[in-house]
């Protein structure tokens, strides 16, 4: 039944009032007569470790995880959890090696890092690029996919869902990073609680289908009846190998995607850039622990829906408009089976994930525009209050643009692979530019421009190369596979690895030539003693790594 009962609306209203009321209380409590821009955009010195960790997860998890990753769980199984579990390992490395460099050099935005390490030209090019990417691709896709998911569950019109999400997100964002960070704690609470309720229902439905009860029995039955869905490393003959090409998730492109997202992305790093190093690290470690839990919430329901479908359930509910089985419908179908009240809770969880992501993305857009473009180019004499005012205007403007573009986006519900693949066009070059800038003093500005521009061109070339060259000879070593049309193409994670290697090689050659000509680079201040971590952080990191080893060993 695709609509909500009165009690569901009551639960959702309770969620809304809690988030809005808490956000308003934080805003009034922290409000100052003279607003500092860094305090507004970064909540400098205000966010606790648990607020940072919760905000990282709330900003990351959205409709593409709930709907798209659950759909991927339906299609290919637990292997898609690598996006979440490998992110946990990535977060530890970011906390140990990236955050000290950012905080030591008082970096507040990613373009500022590029300006400090390279030059203003590189920084401005990337600032404009990130703004376009965040507004035209990321913000609009979050808004569209989120509205589509909520519409399919509630029965409300797509446009109404879009408008309501946009207004709710603006309300949260206008309060600044303090409000976003602390309300994200509430958002994550609803996200996890509502998500676990849906997982409980899904596993219990599997158990009942086979004449028993209990989530553990349901999980055991899933491993029995969908054993092929419980392999983390896909073999070359798997139909989904192009999406997750075997060991690449452990040794190749998955690392590049994760490092670019978690370590070189304003949208994510902004949560920790206003804190001191111990607080930032503890917050990131907390986010890594939460990452381990995410596949339970977003992947297992998809696998459960697959088992139920195989046993004769959802034969029509999972069909799309063309009469084809659509895994992305799995999560909404399960939500619609929840009893009144619990459906409202899960509906609130999904809304929380979407609104938190929208707020975080919009705040990052406002931060980059205000600090890296407006303050540096348009109005160099702008005072703190003016910068905050401009930031608020940008928040509203960015959301209006997203509302206008979103209906014309033209991507399918979920869109997980769409987002991952097309973000991967720029991730290798960005990560190469950052990692070389961090740890090799001789890296030059022209080398950084090469990685940015040519990295994108390399990605485009490899994307369309299968239409020009027969790549079937690479299939024997796992670097190509026939797609649905029979053309052999390189898996996009492998393409990212190849492009990253080309970018590193090109940057090295360019830098060596320019250094030989006497050209100097702008090295960052890197204090290696800051890479030392506390005993508690070390213990937490070892626990996460141990759990990851156990999970990959168990479900290899």
Return the pLDDT at 36: 63
- Above 70 in pLDDT, residue 1? no
Of the listed ranges 123-127, 265-269, 547-551, the one predicted with least confidence = 265-269
Residue 441 burial class via C-beta count within 10 angstroms: exposed 0-12, middle 13-18, buried 19 and up = middle
| DSSP H helices in 94-134 | 99-104, 110-117, 120-132
Q: Do 335 and 327 meet the contact criterion of CB atoms below 8 Å apart?
A: no
30: helix, strand or coil = helix
pLDDT at residue 197 above 80?
yes
Q: Give 320 or 497, the one with higher predicted confidence.
A: 497
Q: How far apart (Å, rounded) are the C-alpha atoms in residues 397 and 87?
A: 32
Domain parsing of the chain, residue ranges: 6-22+50-423+526-554
Higher pLDDT residue, 474 or 147?
A: 147
Going by C-alpha positions, the residue among 504, 395, 433 that lies closest to residue 176 is 395
pLDDT single digits (tens) 213-251: 888 998 999 999 888 889 988 888 777 787 788 888 888
Question: Cβ contacts of residue 222 below 8 Å, gap of 6+?
Answer: 203, 206, 229, 230, 300, 303, 304, 307
Q: How far is CA 453 from CA 122, 369, 481, in A?
A: 11, 21, 28
Q: How far is CA 21 from CA 189, 361, 395, 545, in A?
A: 16, 22, 20, 38
Residue 34, pLDDT above cutoff 60: no
| Closest-CA residue to 524 (of 32, 105, 60) | 105
Confidence at residue 90, expressed as pLDDT on a 0 to 100 scale = 94
CA distance 178 to 166: 19
The helix or strand, by DSSP H or E, that contains position 466, with its residue range, turns out to be none
HSE-CB for 340 with a 13 A CA cutoff: 8
Predicted pLDDT of residue 300: 92
DSSP states of 142-155: HHHHHHHHHHHHH-
Alpha-carbon 237 to chain mean position: 29
85-89, 133-137, 183-187, 495-499: least confident range: 183-187
pLDDT, mean of residues 185-211:
85
Instruction: Please answer whether residues 205 and 216 qualify as being in contact, where contact means their C-beta atoms are separated by less than 8 angstroms.
Output: no
Query: 328-346: per-residue pLDDT in tens?
Result: 778 878 877 778 888 888 8
pLDDT for the residue 414: 43
Three-state DSSP at 235 gives coil
The whole-angstrom separation of Cα 490 and Cα 242 is 7
Average of pLDDT values for 251-271? Answer: 84
Tell me the mean pLDDT in the region 293-316: 87
Cα–Cα distance for residue pair 138/340, rounded to 1 Å: 33
Question: What pLDDT does residue 35 have?
Answer: 61
Radius of gyration of the chain (CA): 23
Cα dihedral 487/492/496/499 (nearest 10): 20
β-strands 488-489, 481-482 pairing: antiparallel
* Burial group, residue 163, by CB count within 10 angstroms (0-12, 13-18, 19+): middle
Please state, in angstroms and rounded to a whole number, the distance separating the CA atoms of residues 376 and 517.
31
Q: May I ask the CATH class of domain 6-22+50-423+526-554?
A: mainly alpha
The answer to whether residue 55 scores a pLDDT higher than 60 is yes
Per-residue pLDDT, averaged over 198-208, amounts to: 89
Nearest CA to 272 out of 48, 486, 428 is that of 48
Would you state the pLDDT for residue 540?
93
Three-class SS state of 305: helix
Q: In the prediction, which pLDDT does 413 show? A: 43
Cβ atoms 345, 13 nearer than 8 A:
no
pLDDT score at 464: 81
pLDDT tens per residue, range 395-440: 899 999 988 887 776 555 445 555 666 677 888 999 999 999 888 8
The CA distance from 452 to 459, in Å, is 11
Mean local confidence (pLDDT), 311-321: 76
Contact 371, 112 (CB under 8 A): yes
Q: Is 340 left (phi over 0), alpha (psi -120 to 50) or beta?
A: beta
Question: Stretch 55-60: mean pLDDT, rounded?
Answer: 81
Which residue has better confidence, 393 or 342?
Answer: 393
Positive or negative, the CA dihedral 239, 320, 410, 151 is: negative
**Residue that wins the pLDDT comparison between 457 and 314:** 457
pLDDT at 326 over 80: no
Summarize the confidence of residues 163-182 as an average pLDDT. 81
Mind spelling out the 3-state secondary structure of 473-533? HHHHHCCCEECCCCCEECCHHHHHHHHHHHHHHHHHHHHHHHHHCCCCCCCCCCCHHHHCC
Q: Which residues contact 277 (CB under 8 A, 6 or more apart)?
A: 99, 100, 103, 530
Average pLDDT value over all residues in the chain: 83
pLDDT of residue 543: 95
Q: Which of 7-11, 82-86, 332-336 has the highest mean pLDDT?
A: 82-86
Cα–Cα distance for residue pair 289/287, rounded to 1 Å: 5
Q: Which of 383, 352, 380, 362 is nearest to 41 (CA)?
A: 362
pTM: 0.86
């Amino acid at each position: 039944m695709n609509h909500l009962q009165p009690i569901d609306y009551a639960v959702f209203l309770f969620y809304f009032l809690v988030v809005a009321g808490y956000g308003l209380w934080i805003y009034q409590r922290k409000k100052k007569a003279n607003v500092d821009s860094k305090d507004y955009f970064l909540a400098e010195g205000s966010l606790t470790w648990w607020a940072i960790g919760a905000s990282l997860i709330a900003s990351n998890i959205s409709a593409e995880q709930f709907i798209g990753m659950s759909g991927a769980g339906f299609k290919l199984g637990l292997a898609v959890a690598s996006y979440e579990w490998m992110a946990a390992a990535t977060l530890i490395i970011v906390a140990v090696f990236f955050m000290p460099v950012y905080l030591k050099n008082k970096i507040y935005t990613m373009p500022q890092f590029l300006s400090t390490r390279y030059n203003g030209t590189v920084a401005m090019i990337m600032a404009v690029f990130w703004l376009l990417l965040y507004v035209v691709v990321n913000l609009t896709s979050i808004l569209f996919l989120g509205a589509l998911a909520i519409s399919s569950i509630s029965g409300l019109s797509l446009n109404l869902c879009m408008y309501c999400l946009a207004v709710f997100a603006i309300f949260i964002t206008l309060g600044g990073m303090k409000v976003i960070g602390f309300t994200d704690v509430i958002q994550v609470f609803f996200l996890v609680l509502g998500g676990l309720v849906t997982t409980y229902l899904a596993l219990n439905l599997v158990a009942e289908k086979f004449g028993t009860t209990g989530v553990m029995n349901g999980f055991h039955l899933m491993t029995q009846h969908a054993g092929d869905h419980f392999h983390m490393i896909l073999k070359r003959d798997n139909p989904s190998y192009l999406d997750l090409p075997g060991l690449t998730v452990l040794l190749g492109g998955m690392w590049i995607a994760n490092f670019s997202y978690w370590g070189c992305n304003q949208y994510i790093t902004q949560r920790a850039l206003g804190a001191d190093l111990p607080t930032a690290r503890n917050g990131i470690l907390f986010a890594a622990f939460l990452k381990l839990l995410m596949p339970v919430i977003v992947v297992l329901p998809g696998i459960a829906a697959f088992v139920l479908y195989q046993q004769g359930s959802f034969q029509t509910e999972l069909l799309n408009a063309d009469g084809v089985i659509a895994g992305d419908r799995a999560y909404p179908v399960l939500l619609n089976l929840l009893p009144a009240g619990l459906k409202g809770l899960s509906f609130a969880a999904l809304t929380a994930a979407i609104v938190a992501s929208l707020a975080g993305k919009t705040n990052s857009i406002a931060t980059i525009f205000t600090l890296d473009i407006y303050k540096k180019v348009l109005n160099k004499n702008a005072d703190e209050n003016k910068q905050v005012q401009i930031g608020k205007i940008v928040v509203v403007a960015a959301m209006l643009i997203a509302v206008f573009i979103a209906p014309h986006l033209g991507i399918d519900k979920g869109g997980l692979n769409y987002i991952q693949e097309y973000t991967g066009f720029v991730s290798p070059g960005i990560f190469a530019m950052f990692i070389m800038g961090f740890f090799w003093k001789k890296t030059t500005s022209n080398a950084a421009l090469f990685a940015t521009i040519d990295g994108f061109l390399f990605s485009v070339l490899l994307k369309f190369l299968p239409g020009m060259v027969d790549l079937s000879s690479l299939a024997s070593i796992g670097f190509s596979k026939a797609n649905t049309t029979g053309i052999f193409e390189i898996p996009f994670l492998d393409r990212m690895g190849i492009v990253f290697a080309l970018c590193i090689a090109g940057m090295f050659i360019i830098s060596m030539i320019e250094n030989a000509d006497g050209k100097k680079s702008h090295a960052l201040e890197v204090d290696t003693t800051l890479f030392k971590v506390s005993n508690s952080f070390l213990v937490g990191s070892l626990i996460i790594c141990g759990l990851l080893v156990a999970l990959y060993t168990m479900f290899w």
